[in-house]
Amino acid sequence: MLPAPKPHAPSLADVLPSCLASIGAQPGTLDLPPAEKALVVLVDGLGADVLAARSGHARTLARGLGRTTIIESGFPSTTAAGIASLTTGALPGSHGLFGYSVLDPVRDRVVNQLSGWDSAMDPLTWQPLLTQFEVAVGNGWDAVAIGPRRYSDSGFTRAVLRGARYVAGESVEDRVDRALAWLRQPGPGIGYLYVPELDVVAHAKGVESVEWTAGLELVDLAVRRLVGGLGSRDGLIVTADHGVLDVPRHAHVLVDEQEGLLDGVRHIAGEPRCLQLHLDETVDLEVVLDRWRDAEGSRAWIASRAEVEASGWWGPVAPSLSGRPGDVFVAARKAVAYYDSRTAGSARSMVGQHGSLSPAELRVPLLRFGAFA
């Protein structure tokens, strides 16, 4: 059976609503003290477990890490789902971003939710909820999103960051400068600062690499600068969308080379550590589940869509979004990744991976500074 989320524990979906509550001097899930400005820094791929293991290289971040400052990112533990949950204040069953790639049921095609947007995917309807930035602006407060210029007008940005003014900064240092300048502006508001660099290094080199540790040191320095620039009514939260673990190439499971595993499978979506299988309509779901459990049940959770929804990770799935998740989920328990070798291409060069339910992927920090400390 799938592990369930911790009951009544805060998640990424609670962070920005709690920041808005702090600005309005209202109670929120995280019970944050009052603040005039709230800034959330999302460090892509900064898992709590690897941060604890590298604590000597990140003293600003690690000094706030403890049992009560770790939350679960959500399932699948991937950027599209995690950031959407953060910025909408809702779980995937409501915002509809169920993974790295999902089925577009109207056109019967698999779409990449980070970079695969086209004219047939309207961000305003694909992600149907108001963002917390739109809520802030509706209250008369400022809302800003700070990130690399290449993301300023992407479909994903328009789906999950709409309502915020997008301010570009090419390097981490540039983005910190933009954030500090925003904090000095008068008036209440919420800000979001995105740091993708650490995740990029993790995918290319792995979290066990010297390059990843060097990247962590740069992130820690950036957070130290932010903390030093906070005013008395500025609150800062540092969190992440998921953690990462290294999967060596010899641990790749090539599903197309195992007899029968893809029989009746029309589309493969998701990510290598959390496949989503969409089946032909004539295929017996239980037969496919049994086949996968016999072959991979020792190193993966194999669950139907109904079982995933019942586990509580998504919340109730809106009827309009019910066609997107797979019929069968294959979520890695061991340090393996699942590929179709016929279509994988350069994706198999990734070292650091995520998407499943292991503690290394699920556990992320929730660190509070300034007025939120």
Indicate the pTM of the whole model: 0.97
> For residue 25, what pLDDT is reported?
86
CA–CA dist 106, 159 (Å, integer): 19
Q: Which residues pair with 99 in a beta bridge?
A: none
- Rg (alpha carbons) of the chain, rounded to whole number: 20
Mean pLDDT by 10 residues, the chain (373 residues): 89 97 93 97 98 97 94 97 98 97 96 94 96 98 98 97 98 98 98 98 98 98 98 98 98 96 98 98 97 98 97 95 97 98 93 98 98 96
Q: Where are the domains of the chain?
A: 12-102+113-246+357-370, 249-351
> Which CATH entry fits the domain spanning 249-351: 3.30.1360.180, 1.10.760.10, 1.10.390.10, 3.20.20.80?
3.30.1360.180
Residue 175 gets which letter from DSSP? H
> For residue 142, what pLDDT is reported?
98
> For residue 8, what pLDDT is reported?
87
CA–CA dist 38, 22 (Å, integer): 8
Q: Are the C-beta atoms of residues 166 and 147 closer than 8 Å to each other?
A: yes
CATH architecture of 12-102+113-246+357-370: 3-Layer(aba) Sandwich (3.40)
Pick from 298, 319, 300, 294: nearest CA to 309: 319
Q: Give backbone dihedrals phi and psi of 291, rounded to 5 degrees, phi first.
A: -60, -45
Both tokens of residue 168? 């570009």
Pick from 221, 219, 227, 159: nearest CA to 195: 219
> For residue 7, what pLDDT is reported?
85
Q: Are the C-beta atoms of residues 88 and 129 closer than 8 Å to each other?
A: yes
Block residue for tokens 């295929």: 283
Q: Are the C-beta atoms of residues 115 and 154 closer than 8 Å to each other?
A: yes
CA–CA dist 18, 21 (Å, integer): 5
| CA atoms lying within 13 Å on the CB side of residue 43 | 30
